[in-house]
Amino acid sequence: MTHQDDTAQALLTHPDEWVDLYGDYLYRYALTRLRDTDVAQDTVQETFLAALKARERFSGRSSEKTWMMGILKHKIIDRLRAKYRERPISELESETEDGVEDIFDRFEHWKEGYSSWETDPAKILENAEFWEVLEKCIKKAPERLSQAFGLRVIDGLSTEETCEILKVSPGNLNVMLYRARLRIRKCLEINWFA
Amino acid sequence: MRKLFVLLFLSCKEATRLASDSRQRQLTLIERIRMRFHMRLCLMCRRWEDQMYLIDDLFRQYPEVIESQDSPLYGQLSLDTKERMRQALQEAQLSS
């Protein structure tokens, strides 16, 4: 073990402290992404156990909290991969079931006008309530839409990787992302910006 | 003139769909021209496009933002669950 590794190891807290230090934070993220309390709890548990095994490889380049989040993100992707392998998304719901008909009229124009959003990015970043609304809006969208959006936008995976996990074609993914964006935008408008 | 208009015309639904697609793939030249033409004339779609960029950007930052926040009450693990996790961690330490 090099001197640098020693320093990195010294930055680690004792595993007995992890649940209190990071449990709520990791669970909050897992719940937003996985939407089911039991699945989210199991995934946080797996993350802690994986962290325990990988502890010696912790480089100290990021904080321990960020490192744990990195492990959790991988665990979430593994879960989603397994889930959609078993139950592939066979076909997209029709437009009428999808809530898009509330947004556009039969001429495909906006049904109702809306105003621009007064946003000061710096203020939004600090507003804890806003982020709870954001979580609510991604969880409110149909599951497969929000998973597509989460993998592509939050995780920043490529189109190819996202399609591979969700078992959909790039064309389908684009439709799903469009519908997710329509819904999330509308939800944010109603619950925050209006 | 009328022909040109028909060639360029997109509905709001089509224009916003292209705006969303532009984040996934390179639009063709004709798609880009049609979308820009629509956006120039349509305030609502311009707003939608701006808000789409904002939303994507906020979600990209989401993991880092909550890292700096305390967990909200509704998202907290119950004491029982925490105890279970602690025990599992301790058992794993003993067996390793």
Q: Report the distance separating Cα A144 and Cα A152, nearest Å.
A: 12
Three-state DSSP class for residue A104: strand
What's the pLDDT at A113? Answer: 80
Asked whether the beta carbons of residue A28 and residue B75 sit closer than 8 angstroms, the reply is yes
Name the stretches of chain A with pLDDT < 50. Answer: 1, 94-97
Backbone angles phi, psi at A142, to 5 degrees: -55, 145
- pLDDT mean over B30-38: 94
Mean pLDDT within B56-82: 84
pLDDT in tens, A80-106: 999 998 776 655 554 444 567 788 888
The answer to whether the Cβ–Cβ distance between A69 and B13 falls below 8 Å is no
- Give residue B76's pLDDT band: very low, low, confident or very high (50, 70, 90): confident
- In one-letter notation, the amino acid at residue A78 is D
- Evaluate whether B58 touches A124 at the Cβ level (below 8 Å): yes
Instruction: Name A91's Cβ contacts closer than 8 Å, sequence gap at least 6.
Output: none
Under an 8 A CB cutoff, do A48 and B63 touch? no
- Among candidate residues A10, A82, A5, the one with its CA nearest the CA of residue A46: A82
- Within 13 Å of residue B74, how many CA atoms lie on the same side as its CB? 9
| pLDDT of the residue at A94 | 45
Give the closest residue to A49 by CA, choosing from A15, A89, A83.
A15
**Which domains occur in chain A, in start order?**
3-86 (1.10.1740.10), 95-193 (1.10.10.10)
Residue A125 to chain B, least CA–CA distance (Å): 7
> What local confidence, expressed as pLDDT, does residue A18 receive?
94
Could you tell me the two tokens for B1? Answer: 């003139």
Q: Domain spans of chain B? A: 2-69
pLDDT of A96? 44
How close does chain B come to A59, measured CA to CA in Å? 19
Taking an 8 Å cut-off on Cβ atoms, the answer to whether A27 and B17 are in contact is: no
The pLDDT value recorded for residue A150 is 97
**Which segment of A37-46, A145-154, B55-64, B71-80 scores lowest on mean pLDDT?**
B71-80
In whole angstroms, give the CA distance from residue A129 to residue A132.
Answer: 5
